[in-house]
Amino acid sequence: MELQISDEFFAEKTKAVEALYQVLDPELMVNVIDLGLIYELNFTNRKTIKVTMTLTSKGCPLGEAISEGVRNALGEKFPEHQVEVETVWEPQWTFEDISSTGREQLGF
């Protein structure tokens, strides 16, 4: 996920990404941004944040916890917003989606 400075919600999205850096995948111990799990952050209106994300595997036993982590972290940062998290499987996540920082943390 890339942030564009020309984006109308650039400031909000930057703040949201900062919050999501605190949400770790409990198994891999790398945050969801560096793992490449967040596909899109959408501030469609002033009241709702829509997060489109994926998980490293379908049926992941920790999937609900990770989605909950995203919801909680954004909810704390944006208490006036409603957070909606949608988990998608297309495009399918692969380990090529992990950032260089994430790779370093995983010992790649």
Partner 1 sequence: MQVTIKDAAVLPFYGAGAIFFLILTLLMFVASNRFQDHFFQAQTLALVHAAALGWGTMIICGAAYQLMPVIFERELYSSKMAFTSFLALFTGSIALVCSFWYFHIGLLMIGSGVLVLIAAILYSINVFKTAGSAKFNVQKLFLMASSIWLIITATVGVLLAINLYKPFISFSHFEILKLHAHIGFVGWFLQLITGVSSLLVPMFLFGKSKKTNLLYLSFAFQNIGLIGFTIDQALWGSSTRALVYFIIIVAGIGCWLIYLRDIYVSRVKKKVDLQMRYTFISKVFLLLAVALVPVVMLVSGNEWSILYGVFIFLGWISAIIFGKTFKTLPFIIWNIHYKKEHGKRNIPLPKQLYSEGLLVYQFWFFIAALFILSFGVLINQLIVIQSGLLLWILVALLYVLNVAKVFLHKKQSDGITN
Binding interface with partner 1 (CB under 8 A)? 22-24, 26-27, 29, 56-62, 64-66, 68-73, 76, 95, 103, 106-108
Min separation Cβ 67 and partner 1, Å: 9
* Minimum CB distance to partner 1 smaller for 44 or for 57: 57
Let me know: does 87 contact 93? Beta carbons within 8 Å: no
Nearer to partner 1, 1 or 28 (CB): 28
CB of 17 to partner 1, least distance (A): 14
Which CB atom, from 50 or from 103, has the smaller least distance to partner 1?
Answer: 103
Q: Is 95 in contact with 28 (CB distance < 8 Å)?
A: no
Q: What's the farthest any 2 CA atoms get from each other in the chain?
A: 40
In angstroms, the Cα distances linking 36 to 7, 8, 9 are: 20, 23, 20
Closest-CA residue to 51 (of 98, 106, 24, 12): 12
DSSP three-state, residue 39 = strand
User: Closest separation between CB of residue 76 and partner 1, Å?
Assistant: 6
Least separation in angstroms between residue 108's CB and partner 1 is 5
